Structure 1
Amino acid sequence: MELFFLALLVLLMAFALGSGFPVAFALPGSAILTIGIAAATGFIFSTGPDAFFDTGGAYQWLSAGVTNFRGIYWEAERDTLIAIPLFVFMGIMLQRSKIAEDLLVTMARLFGPVPGGLGISVVFVGALLAATTGIVGATVVAMGLISLPAMLRNNYSVPLATGTIAASGTLGQIIPPSIVLIILADQLASAVDQAGSLRQTLFKDSTGELSMPSDFAVVSTSAGEMFLGAFLPGLVLVGLYMLFILGFALINPKSAPAVHEEGTFTREFAGKVFMTLVPPLALIFLVLGSIIAGVATVNQAGAIGAVGAMVMAGYRLKEGEKGAYTPAILGVIALLGLAVVISFFGAVNIKRIETSQDVVALVLALISVSLILIAIFWSGWRTLKFEDTLRGVMVETAKTTSLVFIILLGAAMLTSAFRAFGGEHLVKEFLQGLPGGFWAQFLIVMLVIFILGFFLDFIEIAVVVVPIVAPILLADPSANVTAVWLGVMIGLNIQTSFLTPPFGFALFYLRGVAPAVVKTIDMYKGVVAFITLQLIALGIVGLYPQLVNYLPNRSSLLSETAPPPQNPRLQYCMENLIYADFQKNGDTILAAISKAEALDMSYLPKSLQKDLAKGFETAREAIPQMTAIRDAEAAVEVAAVDYRPFHSQVRALERDARRIDARIAELQVIVDRAGPTGIYTQEQGERAANRIKTLTGERDALLAQIPAEWEGVHKEFAAIQKAETNARRSYRRTVDDAYQPVLEAKAILRHADTLAAIESEIEVLREQIQTMEPDAAVEAIADMRGRVGEIEGTSDIRKGLTEARKIMRSRTPDLAAATAEIDNTIAELKADLSWRQKAAKELLPELVAYDQVINRNIGLRQQDRLPEDMALDVASCLSDHRDISLNF
Structure 2
Amino acid sequence: MEILAIVLFALIFILILKGYPVAFTLGGISVIFAFGISILAPEYFSMTTFYLLPSRIMGVVNNYVLMAVPLFIFMGIMLEKSGLAQSLLETMAMMFGSIRGGLAISVVIVGALLAASTGIVGATVVTMGLISLPTMLKRGYKTELATGVIASSGTLGQIIPPSIVLVLLADTINSSSRGSDSVDVGTLFSAALLPGLLLVAIYVVYILIISFLNKNDAPSIPKEEIREFRGDNFVSKIIKIMLLPILLIVIVLGSIFTGVASPTEASAIGALGATLLTLIQKKFSLKILKEVARETTKLTSMVFFILLGATTFTLVFRTLGGDRYLQELIVSSNLTPLVFLLLVMVVVFIAGFFIDFIEIIFIIVPVVTPIFNALNMDMLWVGILIALNLQTSFLTPPFGFALFYLKGVAPPEVKTSQIYRGILPFIIIQLFIVGLVFFFPDIIFI
Q: State the TM-score bracket (shorter-chain normalisation).
A: over 0.9
Structure 1 position 507, deviation (Å)? 0.8
Q: Would the aligned equivalents of 1:484 and 1:549 in 2 still touch at CA under 8 Å?
A: no
Q: What is the aligned counterpart of 1:257 among 197, 219, 227?
A: 219
Q: Distance in 2 between matches of 1:117 and 1:182?
A: 33
Give the direction of change, closer, same or farther, for the CA distance of 1:541–1:13 in structure 2 (3 Å limit): closer
Q: Secondary structure at the match of 2:265?
A: helix
Q: Specify the alignment match of 1:871 in structure 2.
A: none
Partner of 2:242: 277
Matches within 5 A, 1:824-843: none
Distance 1:262 1:405 in 2: 47
Partner of 1:6: 6
> Is 1:242 the counterpart of 2:204 in the alignment?
yes
Instruction: Find the counterpart in structure 1 of residue 87 from structure 2.
Output: 102
1:872-883 matches, cutoff 5 A: none
Matched-pair contact (CA < 8 Å) for 2:12–2:26: no
Please give the alpha-carbon distance, in whole angstroms, between the structure 2 residues aligned to 1:222 and 1:83.
13
Q: Please list, as runs of the form range in 1=range in 2, the aligned pairs for 1:555-570 lying within 5 A after superposition.
A: none
In the TM superposition, what is the alpha-carbon distance from 1:8 to its structure 2 partner? 5.0
1:311 aligns with 2:276: yes
Equivalent residues of 1:434, 1:440 under 8 A apart: no
CA distance in 2 between counterparts of 1:248 and 1:431 reads 44
Partner residue, 2:373: 474
Distance change in 2, residues 1:429/1:525 (3 Å): farther
Taking only the aligned residue pairs, the percentage that are identical comes to: 46
- The alignment partner of 2:230 has SS state of coil
RMSD of the alignment, in Å? 1.9
- Call closer, same or farther: CA 1:237–1:474 in 2, change over 3 Å: farther
Listed as ranges, the matches of 1:150-549 within 5 Å are: 150-193=135-178, 196=180, 218=181, 220-260=182-222, 261-263=225-227, 264-317=229-282, 383-385=284-286, 388-477=287-376, 480-481=377-378, 483-549=379-445
Amino acid in structure 1 at the alignment position of 2:163: S
Tell me which amino acid in the other structure corresponds to 1:176.
Answer: P
**1:125 lines up with 2:124 in the alignment:** no
CA separation in 1, counterparts of 2:65 and 2:134? 40
Runs of 4+, deviation exceeding 6 Å: none
Q: 2 CA distance for matches of 1:12 and 1:308?
A: 41
Offset, 1:6: 3.5
- Give the TM-score normalised by structure 2: 0.94
Task: State how many pairs are aligned.
Answer: 443
Given that 1:6 and 1:421 are in contact with CA atoms closer than 8 Å, whether structure 2 keeps it comes out as: no
Spell out, residue by residue over 1:806-836, the C-alpha distance to the aligned partner (whole angstroms, 9 max, x if none).
Answer: xxxxxxxxxxxxxxxxxxxxxxxxxxxxxxx
**Helix, strand or coil at the partner of 1:295:** coil
How far is the alpha carbon of 1:105 from its aligned partner?
A: 2.0
1:434 and 1:441 in contact (8 A); partners too: no
* Change in CA separation of 1:424 and 1:534 when aligned onto 2, cut-off 3 Å: same
Structure 1's 167 and 100: CA in aligned 2 closer, same or farther, altered over 3 A? same
Give the gaps of 5 or more residues in structure 2.
Answer: none
The aligned residue for residue 30 of structure 2 is 31
1:728-748, CA deviations, whole angstroms, 9 ceiling, x for partnerless residues?
xxxxxxxxxxxxxxxxxxxxx
Q: Deviations over 1:109-139 (max 9, x none)?
A: 2222222111111110000000000000000
Q: Tell me which residue corresponds to 1:696.
A: none
Matches within 5 A, 1:470-869: 470-477=369-376, 480-481=377-378, 483-550=379-446
Give the 3 Å change call, closer, same or farther, for CA 470–289 of structure 1 in structure 2: same
Structure 2 equivalent of residue 555 of structure 1:
none
Q: Which residue of 2 aligns with 1:74?
A: 59
Distance 1:83 1:484 in 2: 20
Give the drift of 1:407. Answer: 0.8
Q: Which has the larger radius of gyration?
A: 1
Deviations 1:611-658 (A, max 9, x none): xxxxxxxxxxxxxxxxxxxxxxxxxxxxxxxxxxxxxxxxxxxxxxxx
1:105–1:146 contact (8 Å) kept in structure 2: no
SS in 2 for 1:253: coil
CA distance in 1, matches of 2:318, 2:5: 11
Say if 2:353 and 2:399, in contact at 8 Å, map to a contact too: yes
Q: 1:282 to 1:5 in 2, by over 3 A?
A: closer
Q: Distance in 1 between matches of 2:375 and 2:338?
A: 10
Distance (Å, rounded) in 1 between the aligned partners of 2:318 and 2:176: 14
Preserved contact between residue 83 and residue 299 of structure 1 (Cα < 8 Å): yes
CA distance in 2, matches of 1:315, 1:121: 24
Query: Greater relative contact order (Cα 8 A, min sep 6): structure 1 or 2?
Result: 2
In structure 2, distance between residues paired with 1:145 and 1:304: 29
Q: Unaligned stretches of 5+ in structure 1?
A: 43-48, 197-217, 319-382, 551-888
Measure, in 1, the Cα distance between the counterparts of 2:420 and 2:64. Answer: 39
Closer, same or farther: CA 287–429 of 1 in aligned 2, 3 Å? same
Tell me by how many angstroms 1:293 deviates: 1.6
Equivalence for 1:654: none
How many angstroms apart in 1 are the aligned matches of 2:333 and 2:192? 29
Q: 1:164 to 1:433 in 2, by over 3 A?
A: farther
Tell me how far apart the structure 1 counterparts of residues 249 and 277 of structure 2 sit (CA, whole Å): 12
Q: C-alpha offsets along residues 400-429 of structure 1, whole Å, 9 cap, x if unaligned? A: 111111111111112222234433233223
Structure 2 distance, partners of 1:71, 1:428, is 23
Please state how far the C-alpha of 1:247 moved relative to its aligned partner. Answer: 0.9
- Corresponding letter in the other structure for 1:497: S
Shift in Å, 1:309:
0.5
1:5 and 1:34 in contact (8 A); partners too: no
Residue 653 (structure 1) aligns with: none
CA–CA separation in structure 2 for the residues paired with 1:13 and 1:415: 14
Would the alpha carbon gap of residues 470 and 5 (structure 1) be closer, same or farther in structure 2, given more than 3 Å must change? Answer: closer
Q: What is the CA–CA distance in structure 2 between the aligned matches of 1:122 and 1:421, rounded to whole Å?
A: 49
Q: Would the alpha carbon gap of residues 251 and 181 (structure 1) be closer, same or farther in structure 2, given more than 3 Å must change?
A: same
**Contact kept in structure 2, 1:69 and 1:413, CA below 8 Å:** no
